[in-house]
Structure 1
Amino acid sequence: MNCQECNKKIDRGCLLNCSSCKGPHHFSCMNIDSAKFKDHRQELNRTVKCGKCKRHSLTDTPALNSTSLNIDTNVNKANPILQSPNNQDHFVTENRLRDILRQEVSQIIKQQVAEQLKDIKTQVRSYQDSFEFFNKQYEDLKKSLDEKNEVIKYLQTDNQKLQSSVKDLTTRLSNVEQLMRESNVEINGLPEHRSENLSTTIISLAEAVGCSIGDADIQHVTRVAKLDKESTRPRAVIAKLRSARQRDTLLAAVTKFNKNKKAHEKLNSGHFGVSGSAPLAPIYVSEHLTPAYKSLHAAARTTTKVSGYKYVWVRNGRIYMRKDESCSCILIRSHDTLKSIT
């Protein structure tokens, strides 16, 4: 007869029948060692099942699936407990199989979880390194930004101080320049001639308004360049008199001459024998102001038109405004003063 497991011929001395299907098998094909077979042959014939019967019994167990059964076919080989010749229990019970499966599955899960945790730890460590790097970069940028802000604040404060100093120095320089012009008068509208004698013209102008000025009283006289090159008006004449008192005397005489006179009767080129193109050119005599004060004076005149002020004048290089006869005069020091008025 042949073995139902290996399909080879069985000698009488190696025959072992399955206790369930009674099929002939080699005792070695049923995982029984020779010593145990010789000592317990009859008992083994009553208790031992072949692999096929064992698989049928496991398939009938509802708690196990096909995958679990495939694992169980090699349980006897993998588990040293079942391979031990001294083990008297040759059957794998349902509970025992469950324990074995739990151990195997638990071990597999532990290995997989350990590998996954190792990968996660590696990723977390990489994220931590990246975070520490970016955090360091952020702290460096923040420190640098704080330093820059401190520098900016210092520069802003220093800039304000410098602007204040420049403004103060500009005002003082303008005052010094104006002080250097305290004896000067500026004459506008005087017609130009190639053969003109400005000293004689100024003496004639002073006589016309009733002011006595001699040639020795005029220290210097000249025409200055135009600010507007395209203007058709004659260049202004600047005359430096001997003292500021003579300047004030001449200005007072011109004001008195023009007072209460009609427009065509006020001081013009015909009053002191200066010929010009008809009609006669009006002559304006004023203090010689610096460019900064000229700009401020022009702005003050514009302000009087929009703010309701009636009077604006210059006295000793200073600009004054008055709203009407009953109001006190206001000293115009800068454009900020005009802004406060408007």
Structure 2
Amino acid sequence: MLDLGLNETEAPCLPEIKVELSEIRKTYEFTSDKWDECILRIAEVESKIPEIEILHGKVETLGQEVSSLKSELASRDQWQRLNNVEIKGVPLKKNENLFLILDNICGVVGFPIDKNSINYISRVPAQNSNEKCIIVGFINRYIKEEFLASARLKKTITAEEIGFQGSKQRIFANDHLTPMYKQLLTKTKSTLKSKGYAYIWVKYAKIHVRKDDSSKVFIINSDNDLNKLV
């Protein structure tokens, strides 16, 4: 009789083999079912790809329309401030006379203004600051631009020069920009100065840039305009 070297305890039992085969079959069937399920799900997703692509296109179009509307609203808001000047740095004083303060500034910069040229004048909170700046609304943008040109020629104005004794606080007069345009101006300066742009200025409430004396002047109305120059 052939001896396989297995004793009775080591020899596989037929019922055990059947059980193992049954478990293997169950595992295979389960895996096969899951695989079939995955195939069906992939096919279902693939069938929806054209619909998803259409929706993606619609979302992109809507995004462009929203961006365009935001830009249009920002331009309108800025246009409404076209005749305004923002004066920062004037110390706040109780019972102050803003017309007198403006008149003193005009005297310092050498550009006298008649009260009839002023539509309104008021203090408003400055963005991201406890300071209250002075907003002057002129009756037209030409007077406003001439006033700003005179202020820029003076370059430095201090509070002491307009009646605040002993105060070296600097006073700045600029276009009254919307918060969006102020952020865009800050971003333009930080981005383009590192790219060698020598001139960045605001005129008629628009951001102008020029790389050097022989370069073309560009107007920055949005991040898209800025990205084209980077």
TM-score (norm 1): 0.53
Matched, 1:222 2:122: yes
Q: Distance in 2 between matches of 1:251 and 1:156?
A: 48
What residue in structure 1 maps to residue 3 of structure 2?
A: none
| Residues 78 and 178, structure 2, Cα contact 8 Å, conserved in 1 | yes
What residue in structure 1 maps to residue 205 of structure 2?
A: 317
Amino acid at match of 1:267: I
Q: CA RMSD in A?
A: 2.5
Q: Deviations over 1:287-339 (max 9, x none)?
A: 11111111111112213431111111011121111122222222223223333
Superposition deviation, residue 152 in structure 1: 2.1
Amino acid at match of 1:168: S
Amino acid at match of 1:302: S
What residue in structure 2 maps to residue 198 of structure 1?
A: 98
Superposition deviation, residue 168 in structure 1: 0.8
Q: Deviations over 1:155-187 (max 9, x none)?
A: 211110011001111111111111101110001
What residue in structure 2 maps to residue 336 of structure 1?
A: 224
Superposition deviation, residue 143 in structure 1: 4.8
Which residues in structure 2 correspond to 1:134-153 (within 5 Å)? 140-153=40-53
Matched, 1:282 2:177: no
What residue in structure 2 maps to residue 156 of structure 1?
A: 56
Amino acid at match of 1:281: Q
| Residues 158 and 167, structure 2, Cα contact 8 Å, conserved in 1 | no
Higher relative contact order (CA closer than 8 Å, sequence separation 6+): 2
What 5-or-longer segments of structure 1 have no aligned partner? 1-122, 259-265
What residue in structure 1 maps to residue 6 of structure 2?
A: none
Superposition deviation, residue 139 in structure 1: 6.7
Amino acid at match of 1:144: E
Which residues in structure 2 correspond to 1:68-107 (within 5 Å)? none
What residue in structure 2 maps to residue 22 of structure 1?
A: none
What residue in structure 1 maps to residue 143 of structure 2?
A: 246
What residue in structure 2 maps to residue 268 of structure 1?
A: 158
Matched, 1:210 2:110: yes
Q: Distance in 1 between matches of 2:171 and 2:151?
A: 10
Which residues in structure 2 correspond to 1:289-308 (within 5 Å)? 289-308=177-196
Amino acid at match of 2:198: K
Runs of 4+ in 1 over 6 A off after TM superposition: 130-134
Q: Distance in 1 between matches of 2:190 and 2:87?
A: 22
Superposition deviation, residue 138 in structure 1: 5.8
Look up the SS of the partner of 1:236 in the other structure: strand
The number of equivalent residue pairs is: 202
What residue in structure 2 maps to residue 235 of structure 1?
A: 132
What 5-or-longer segments of structure 2 have no aligned partner? 1-24
Amino acid at match of 2:134: V
Which residues in structure 2 correspond to 1:8-19 (within 5 Å)? none
Structure showing the higher strand proportion among its residues = 2
Q: Distance in 2 between matches of 1:201 and 1:132?
A: 85
Q: Percent identity?
A: 25
Q: Return closer, same or farther for 1:211/1:133 CA change in 2, 3 Å cut-off.
A: closer
Q: Distance in 2 between matches of 1:249 and 1:283?
A: 17
Amino acid at match of 1:271: E
Look up the SS of the partner of 1:161 in the other structure: helix
What residue in structure 1 maps to residue 15 of structure 2?
A: none
| Residues 127 and 179, structure 2, Cα contact 8 Å, conserved in 1 | no
What residue in structure 2 maps to residue 21 of structure 1?
A: none
| Residues 311 and 323, structure 1, Cα contact 8 Å, conserved in 2 | yes
Q: Distance in 1 between matches of 2:214 and 2:110?
A: 31
Q: Return closer, same or farther for 1:239/1:141 CA change in 2, 3 Å cut-off.
A: same
Q: Aligned match of 2:84 in 184, 187, 190?
A: 184
Q: Return closer, same or farther for 1:143/1:197 CA change in 2, 3 Å cut-off.
A: same
What residue in structure 2 maps to residue 14 of structure 1?
A: none
Q: Distance in 2 between matches of 1:185 and 1:133?
A: 71
